[in-house]
Structure 1
Amino acid sequence: MPASGQSYGVVGALKAFPLRLAAKRVAALGGRLHRSITRGTTTVVFGRTLLSRLSEGEIEHRVEVARDSQAILLSENGFLRALGSLPNTAPANISRQALLEQSRLDGDALDLLTLFDAFEHHAEPFSFRDVILAKKYAGLVATGASWGAIARSVHQIGPVGSLTALTLQTGTDKILARDTHSLAELDGQRLLALPEIADEAEDYFGLAENAEAAELFAEAATLYEHCSSIDSSDATAPFNLGNCLRKLDDLSGAALAYVTALKRDPLFIEAWFNYGGVLRDMGRIDAARQHLARAAELDPAYADAIYNLGALEYDAGDLASARDWWRKYLVLDDSSDWARRARAGIGLANRVIHRTAG
């Protein structure tokens, strides 16, 4: 899958190199990259650092959220191959279903292990060596190993293909490898450990996300601002900064943050929408209209933007335009509370327009 035209949302830091370098590479190839999933995201990449930073349950939750977005899910190696930074794997011809049948590995475990590069191929078709690995993993799962323990362990020994020559067994919270000479943990003891590549921006970003989730918006804003200053290619940090400042009623600060996000990524749909909301709150109706309309133009299925355009026109006294926007909204949503409000608004607009015409 080439990077050109793709919008990548990266969940977690990459193991290979900092996200700011990945963002530059993606931009050079004609794509876009965010540290999160946005409305324009076409492909979600899962960085392998998640394995050491989050619990298996939290990782599984983030995978489900990504699947709900309807975007393509891609492993870190798959992403690097799309960027041309990692050689393509050898041709293979084994389907996912055939691999499951031959290995007896659970389908959910297979998908998660694939997403975190526990196989030579990051997607089907798989190879015969992948089948061997799947059989070994199925044996580990049968003896009590979790997919996360397997994924964390296999990357400690080098290329995963080298595991095909070892006998694997489950230890206490770790996977052990047995060869003809010894039993050892898959912890790199026999290898020269590769140095960790620090991504300071990612560290701050993770802390900021935690603070925001805890509704510590001032603390989160400080962290997002620092993250934004470290990585000038990242549009997500200033966008999140704007959201936090808006929660703190700092509208001018939020507006500046959204401007920064849009300068870094002019196709950031949620930034156009949220900036439009701030401009409306500031009484800058014409500018708010332009920004909300841009969000709707970039994503014609963005129901919230369309509804808010109707509300903005209604408040501005242009009832005919409000009615038109709300009719468009009902094409996208005809059953929610907001749909009922849109119908009520259309009815009220019709009555006022008819009364004025009469």
Structure 2
Amino acid sequence: MDLSGTSIGVVGALKAFPLRSAAKRLADRGARVHRGLPRGTTMAVFCRSLLSRLGPGEIEGRVAAARESAAELRSESGLMRLIGLSTTAAPGTLPQQSLLDQSGLSETSLDMLALFDAFEHDRAPFSFRDLILAKKYAGLIASGAGWHDIARSLHAVGPVGSLTALTLEARGERILALDAHSLAELDGQRLLPLPEQDDEAEDYFSHAEVAEQAGLFAEAATLYAHCAAIDPSDATAPFNEGNCRRELGELDAALLAYAVSLKRDPAFVESWFNCAGVLRDLGRIEAARTHLRRAIEIDPAYADAVYNLAALDYDTNNLPDAAAGWRRYLELDDTSDWARRARAGIALVAQIRSQAG
């Protein structure tokens, strides 16, 4: 499948294979891959590893945010099928509404379970086996289980279609399988787990995110640098390192990190933008202007870049371009505080030019 122009953001660590292996396959099909969901992401992939790290509320929040910014959401198995590493056992024929009506699952539960590979398909049309599973999951939820409990219990299981022959039972946060011989947890020896490989880079990345959120920018920068060194295809880790270096006032180191990010992905628009900010702080105005123009060239609707370029033109007394830039900004955003500032900037330029005669 040709994926030219697709920008794929991966949230969490892939369980079945390292991200860099997936990135290579996807690059061969014309796609770009990032950890997280940077600007311009067109497909968001949610990994099953999140189930062991995050609670249901936080995951649902991340999924909701992704739906606003990405055109398409995929599960981990959905990504594997997309690049030919996995096939669907049975073709789907059931639309989503039919599955909802016949199973009794809520739309949210169905969406989350599908996104975390609790069915043979991660999207409609679904198969008859998916319908059987949906009815079983609805029964578990009626017994007090949540979609997160179900998905977490299933994530280490082989083909989920094998569960259709078992009776599932909720015991607190555990989902148990009952057959004619015994009762066992789903991740026990009865079912074959998916082969897994540790992604050391993702471990560093996860710890770095926690450190950055806590304001421990030096520790976060070091961890992001380790991540970047382990996975030479990853442009997000050096971008994040650059952000942390900038917070620490290490502007030259930040520039170097952004340069690594842009070398790995020349279309990473946020790297161009943030690098422009550092260049401006260092007094390298023309270089900052070039980087902002490049960001706008990649993403003409990037309002922040349009505003900052106009502000840079104003600071360097390039008044006509500043006013034109702020007018362009107002085409993208005419309601925020920044829009108010843009209007004030246009008025100030008009006043200065009027006074100059």
**TM-score band (shorter)?**
over 0.9
Counterpart of 1:299?
Answer: 299
Letter in 1 for 2:238: P
| Alpha-carbon separation, structure 1, partners of 2:332 and 2:89 | 42
Letter in 2 for 1:43: M
Maintained 8 Å contact 2:12/2:47 = yes
Counterpart of 1:190?
Answer: 190
| Alpha-carbon separation, structure 1, partners of 2:38 and 2:334 | 24
| Alpha-carbon separation, structure 2, partners of 1:4 and 1:83 | 13
Give the Å deviation of 1:240. 0.1
Query: Does 2:259 align with 1:259?
Result: yes
Give the Å deviation of 1:2. 4.7
Q: TM-score, normalised on structure 1?
A: 0.97
Counterpart of 2:272?
Answer: 272
Maintained 8 Å contact 1:201/1:230 = yes
Counterpart of 1:97?
Answer: 97
Indicate how the Cα distance of structure 1 residues 77 and 196 shifts in structure 2: closer, same or farther if over 3 A, else same: closer
Counterpart of 1:68?
Answer: 68
Counterpart of 1:23?
Answer: 23
| Alpha-carbon separation, structure 2, partners of 1:288 and 1:205 | 28
| Alpha-carbon separation, structure 2, partners of 1:193 and 1:320 | 64
| Alpha-carbon separation, structure 2, partners of 1:112 and 1:194 | 20
Counterpart of 1:316?
Answer: 316
> Residue deviations 1:206-226, cap 9 Å, x none?
000000000110110110111
Give the Å deviation of 1:49. 1.0
| Alpha-carbon separation, structure 2, partners of 1:112 and 1:153 | 14
Query: Does 2:164 align with 1:164?
Result: yes
| Alpha-carbon separation, structure 2, partners of 1:110 and 1:170 | 18
Letter in 2 for 1:173: E
Maintained 8 Å contact 1:23/1:33 = yes
Counterpart of 1:80?
Answer: 80
60-69 vs 30-39, greater mean Cα deviation: 60-69
Letter in 1 for 2:127: S
Letter in 1 for 2:332: L
Maintained 8 Å contact 2:175/2:185 = yes
| Alpha-carbon separation, structure 2, partners of 1:172 and 1:244 | 41
Unaligned regions of 5+ residues in structure 1, if any? none
Give the Å deviation of 1:260. 0.4
Maintained 8 Å contact 1:3/1:82 = no
Give the Å deviation of 1:194. 5.5
Counterpart of 1:12?
Answer: 12
Give the Å deviation of 1:99. 0.5
Q: Secondary structure at the match of 1:176?
A: strand
Maintained 8 Å contact 2:168/2:176 = yes
Indicate how the Cα distance of structure 1 residues 2 and 161 shifts in structure 2: closer, same or farther if over 3 A, else same: farther
Letter in 2 for 1:85: L
Letter in 2 for 1:71: A
| Alpha-carbon separation, structure 2, partners of 1:4 and 1:320 | 38
Maintained 8 Å contact 1:2/1:83 = no
Work out the number of aligned pairs and report it. Answer: 357
Q: Moved runs in structure 1, 4+ residues, more than 6 A?
A: none
Indicate how the Cα distance of structure 1 residues 153 and 231 shifts in structure 2: closer, same or farther if over 3 A, else same: same
Q: Secondary structure at the match of 1:94?
A: coil
Letter in 2 for 1:158: G
203-212 vs 43-52, greater mean Cα deviation: 43-52
Counterpart of 2:223?
Answer: 223
Maintained 8 Å contact 2:157/2:193 = no
Percent identity of equivalent pairs: 64
Counterpart of 2:329?
Answer: 329
Counterpart of 2:112?
Answer: 112
Counterpart of 1:285?
Answer: 285
Counterpart of 1:246?
Answer: 246
| Alpha-carbon separation, structure 2, partners of 1:179 and 1:23 | 40
Letter in 2 for 1:38: P
Give the Å deviation of 1:154. 2.1
Letter in 1 for 2:153: S
Counterpart of 1:121?
Answer: 121
Q: Secondary structure at the match of 2:30?
A: coil
| Alpha-carbon separation, structure 1, partners of 2:291 and 2:156 | 48
302-311 vs 155-164, greater mean Cα deviation: 155-164
Q: TM-score, normalised on structure 2?
A: 0.97
Give the Å deviation of 1:193. 5.2
Q: Secondary structure at the match of 1:324?
A: helix
Letter in 1 for 2:187: D
Letter in 2 for 1:334: D
Calculate the aligned-residue CA RMSD, in Å.
1.3
Maintained 8 Å contact 1:156/1:188 = no
Give the Å deviation of 1:253. 0.6
